Structure 1
Amino acid sequence: MRAITESESTPKVDGFYMPAEYAPQDRVFMGWPNRPDTFAFGAVPAQRTYAGIANAISEFTPVVMCCNEADYDNCKAVFKDNERVTVMEMSINDAWFRDTGATFLVDGKGGKAATDWHFNAYGGLVDGLYFPWDKDAKIARKMADYVGVRTYRPDHVILEGGSITVDGEGTLIVTDSCLLSAGRTASVLVADEPDAGDWPLYPRKYEPFSEELREYMTKELEEYLGVEKVIWVKEGIDPAVTNGHIDDCATFIAPGVVACIWTDDPEYPFYRQCHEIYDTLVNATDAKGRKLKVYKLPMPEKPCFMSEEEANSIDLVNPRTAQDEPQIASYMNYLVTNHGCIVPQYGDVNDALAVETLQKIYDETWGEGVFKCVGVDSRQVVYGGGNIHCITQQEPSA
């Protein structure tokens, strides 16, 4: 399908916008995990976890599971009894389809398109997580071709889907820590530096975390997501991995209604961020001028750690240890899909509370029983650096 450059047009000019996640969906895309330097024990436990998540999603929405050629037979066998999961061969570097996949758009008139952001593995040569990312950089175009829609390609915007959340009525929430960081967008590379293979030459137009960069990004986000207002949260809770994606921290429940992570324990690793995020959102208004209603979703009672055995099984030069690094375990990183909420579970005492809290939030907002919240174990995904929302990318209905 045709790829439209920024000089030709933008989604907003052509009437497209990103719908909210709670809007109807045609399918959910996922990628099959394979990297021994991302997942414990050669990604085998992660594959079982991905399968459990895909099966849970398929109760609400068809799933397309994309995998490398070497993994096709195994992946196909895993889902042989689930006709709601389609296994498709696609070359991938890693398995985070929220971030590598297309951001699908609609026009409210039956039309559909996609934004194909630049991708550089969460910061490229500045602070990226892996190299190369050449296959992942093509996933969005392949997804759009599978669906049969055009793509819109910004000139310089490096962005992952986990860094944005929209209400479908013109409002977007993002974090400074990710979108204004040195490894993203127009602050990323001096134009006269040598090209590093797959690395595009982005001119450094703005300094990282500058107001000039914020203004530039705001305009680009408005054009490529069809929004009218961007709410900037200071930082997320995973600076070492994604530079702080919003999907670990907050999401829209409905127009004018959001939820954010919360803890009352001042000793909790993310206590400060929880309170700063809440303060920002509770004092914000959306594109329609509505003051946001903000629900609090608890964090796990205890920070999540890998076992020593799991940490040492990851193929890294400097293996992480259970004592060194609390994992980014947030119940906020759930997927909403066709009236289902697929909620992370960690074997924590707050697992049931998180599902119950979300069910109550959706019942109060949408009516009792309109949405069904289901808990699914996601620990192996967390150990790889993400969660349920991170490994899924929805295709909205036109």
Structure 2
Amino acid sequence: MNDLPAGRWLLDAFLGPRPSRGASSDGTDGARWRVPADDVPHTRTWMSWPSRRSVWGRQLAGVQQDIALIARTVAAFEPVVLCAPDESAVGEARAACGPGVTVIGSIPTDDLWMRDTCAVFRRDGRGNLDAVSLNFNGWGGKQKHRDDAEVAWCVAEFNGIPLTEAEFVGEGGSIETDGDGTVLATESSLVNKNRNRGMSRDKIEEEVLAAYGAEKMIWVPGVRGRDITDNHIDVTSRFVRPGVVMVQVPPDDRNDVWARDAREQFAILSAATDAKGRRLQVIRVDGPDTVRSRSSTFVDSYLNFHLVNGAVVTAQFGDPRTDSAARRALAEAFPGRRVVQLDVDRLMGGGGGIHCATMHEPIP
């Protein structure tokens, strides 16, 4: 697979000067830009190589192994472009990921969470692609983000497509879309002064709908200040298709803040209707009874999966009953896709999962 800096040069030569930051993107012939659902065919998956011991400390080597495993797994189904911050990291990533993964050093990153830092891609239904930046600010200033704040712009520039800056601050993992007019989000993440100080929920909703090309937003309260994301929706509730969502519910004997939040999301979504007036069908997925990790920030989510061309890549936690049940649920929800379960405990001990570490680029 060719290294993409050369491809970037060819795009420059073919397309000419790219739009400036903040350029308006209204679609062709008045067509509406919309963020599609995750299950559309992909051109590629974007990822980022963790290299900073200041972020990961002694966990860095293990997290790198998990990112390499995810990259190799996804690359069996669709191209993967993995960004590394410098030449040393490029060499490490290539050695770990192998020749099936394209590693580039032209888009520097601070950390690995590409779902939150990458451009969110949109289509206009006429074969055109653009991107929107959600103005990443380090999850409300919780982490240094000098390079990550530029990733969305750099990825759009790399592809030679227009970039529009949203009129709110958020992350890709904070908003779940069905691609048919409905989005989900937690209030704790977006209606938060660390991201959108002085903005009302109604105003944030207006701007999210404008950026995503959607008509209805379903809010759940979420959990504020307990994790770096302020409780992203993509850990607990995910769209399967328009009108159908999956929600992971914890064992009955758990009553911590995350368990209460999951049950509340299940109840709210079970009573909700989408932009087309459909009563949502909610598929319950049971969370694991036991996990191998002792990390206090461990994310035990089967639903932080990444859809790729022909497969669903998700986690397993060593709990035979719930691992098998989650595999069956995902196979039934996404017929025709192979379900691949990975042990990525070290990554998930860092507070995120497979969906958090990936961003899909749809075919226009």
Q: What TM-score comes out, normalization by structure 1 length?
A: 0.81
Whether 1:78 and 2:96 are equivalent positions in the alignment is yes
SS at match of 1:183: helix
Alignment-mate amino acid for residue 77 of structure 1: A
- Structure-to-structure mapping, 1:295-374, within 5 angstroms: 295-302=283-290, 305-306=293-294, 322=295, 325=296, 327-349=298-320, 350-363=322-335, 370-374=336-340
Distance 2:224 2:99 in 1: 38
Q: Which residue of the partner structure matches residue 161 of structure 1?
A: 172
Residues 7-35 of structure 1: per-residue CA shift (max 9 Å, x gap): x5667976211000001110000000123
Distance 2:41 2:156 in 1: 18
Distance 2:325 2:255 in 1: 18
Q: Report the CA distance shift for 1:25/1:238 in structure 2 as closer, same or farther (over 3 A).
A: farther
Distance 2:363 2:147 in 1: 27
Picking from 210, 216, 224, the partner of 2:211 is 224
Residues 27-82 of structure 1: per-residue CA shift (max 9 Å, x gap): 00000012324435251111111111111111221100110212111212223342
Distance 1:154 1:167 in 2: 19
Unaligned residue ranges in structure 1 (runs of 5+): 188-204, 207-212, 307-321, 364-369
Residues 108-156 of structure 1: per-residue CA shift (max 9 Å, x gap): 10000000121111011xxx1x22x11000101111112221000134x
Whether 1:257 and 2:249 are equivalent positions in the alignment is no
Q: Report the CA distance shift for 1:265/1:232 in structure 2 as closer, same or farther (over 3 A).
A: same
- Structure-to-structure mapping, 1:17-28, within 5 angstroms: 17-28=34-45
Q: Which residue of the partner structure matches residue 395 of structure 1?
A: 361
Pairs aligned (count): 342
Q: Which residue of the partner structure matches residue 267 of structure 1?
A: 254
Q: Report the CA distance shift for 1:44/1:223 in structure 2 as closer, same or farther (over 3 A).
A: same
Alignment-mate amino acid for residue 289 of structure 1: G
Contact 2:184 2:219 in 1 (8 A): yes
Contact 2:292 2:318 in 1 (8 A): no
Alignment-mate amino acid for residue 211 of structure 2: Y
Alignment-mate amino acid for residue 351 of structure 1: D
Alignment-mate amino acid for residue 381 of structure 1: L
Q: Report the CA distance shift for 1:136/1:393 in structure 2 as closer, same or farther (over 3 A).
A: same
Q: Report the CA distance shift for 1:54/1:334 in structure 2 as closer, same or farther (over 3 A).
A: same
**Pairwise CA distance, 1:4:** 5.7
Residues 178-212 of structure 1: per-residue CA shift (max 9 Å, x gap): 01112112x1xxxxxxxxxxxxxxxxx34xxxxxx
CA RMSD, aligned part only? 2.1
**Pairwise CA distance, 1:94:** 1.0
Q: Which residue of the partner structure matches residue 158 of structure 2?
A: 146
Distance 1:239 1:339 in 2: 35
Whether 1:175 and 2:192 are equivalent positions in the alignment is no
Q: What TM-score comes out, normalization by structure 2 length?
A: 0.88
Structure scoring higher RCO (CA < 8 A, sep ≥ 6) equals 1
SS at match of 2:201: helix
Alignment-mate amino acid for residue 298 of structure 2: Q
SS at match of 1:215: helix
**Pairwise CA distance, 1:171:** 0.6
Distance 1:77 1:229 in 2: 45
